[in-house]
């Protein structure tokens, strides 16, 4: 085996091991995860983390064949959820909102230059839900605009 082959084999082991990292660790090491594009034409198991446009996504449900025209986006939000654990979710450090991400009650999110509090009635602080729209689109339902 050449040194390049050894490096590729080692990289594959690192990527496989990184899949077990908790989300708050994973987002700090996004480069350890395979790109979404590397799965085009291949299956993708639920729970796998992939990079797409410098964001980390977790696969929500197994995909039998990844199609080039179906990347993580609002149109495929049932398949992927965005990860962002690098922000505290406070007024001072809100989480940048992305359609299809997991939101947590009691945390603050930024969307379009505005600040929003996830404050859904019937949910307890810390409860989480994946939403396929941005906070600005769900004011009065899941979010309230914060000052």
d(CA 112, CA 128): 22
d(CA 96, CA 100): 12
3-83 has CATH 2.10.10 classification:
yes
What phi and psi values does residue 95 have, to the nearest 5 degrees?
-85, 125
At which residue do the structure tokens 């796998």 appear?
48
For the stretch 79-111, pLDDT in tens is: 888 876 678 899 999 999 987 788 999 999 999
Which helix (H) or strand (E) segment holds residue 15: the answer is helix 3-18
pLDDT bucket at 125, cuts 50 / 70 / 90: very high
d(CA 127, CA 75): 25
pLDDT bucket at 142, cuts 50 / 70 / 90: very high
Q: Where exactly are the structural domains of the chain?
A: 3-83, 95-146
- State residue 73's pLDDT score: 81
- State residue 85's pLDDT score: 64
d(CA 7, CA 119): 48
The mean pLDDT of the chain is: 90
For the stretch 36-47, pLDDT in tens is: 999 999 999 999
What distance lies between CA 104 and its chain's CA centroid?
13
Bridge partner list, 83: 56
pLDDT bucket at 132, cuts 50 / 70 / 90: confident
| Ranges 19-33, 53-67, 133-147: which has the least confidence | 19-33
| Residue 24 confidence (pLDDT) above 90 | no
What separation, in Å, do the N-terminal and C-terminal C-alpha atoms of the chain show? 60
Is pTM, for the whole model, over 0.95?
no
Report whether 136 contacts 116 (CB < 8 A): yes
């Amino acid at each position: 085996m050449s040194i390049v082959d050894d490096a590729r084999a080692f990289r594959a082991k690192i990527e496989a091991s990184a899949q077990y990292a908790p989300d708050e660790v994973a987002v700090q090491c996004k480069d350890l995860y395979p790109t979404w594009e590397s799965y085009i034409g291949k299956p993708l198991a639920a729970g796998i983390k992939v990079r797409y446009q410098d964001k980390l996504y977790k696969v929500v449900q197994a995909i039998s064949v990844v199609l080039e025209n179906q990347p993580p986006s609002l149109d495929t939000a049932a398949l992927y959820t965005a990860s962002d654990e690098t922000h505290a979710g406070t007024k001072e450090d809100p989480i940048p909102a992305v359609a299809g991400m997991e939101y947590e009650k009691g945390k603050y999110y930024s969307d379009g230059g505005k600040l929003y509090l996830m404050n859904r009635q019937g949910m307890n602080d810390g409860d989480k839900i994946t939403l396929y729209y941005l906070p600005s689109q769900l004011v009065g339902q899941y979010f309230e605009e914060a000052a």
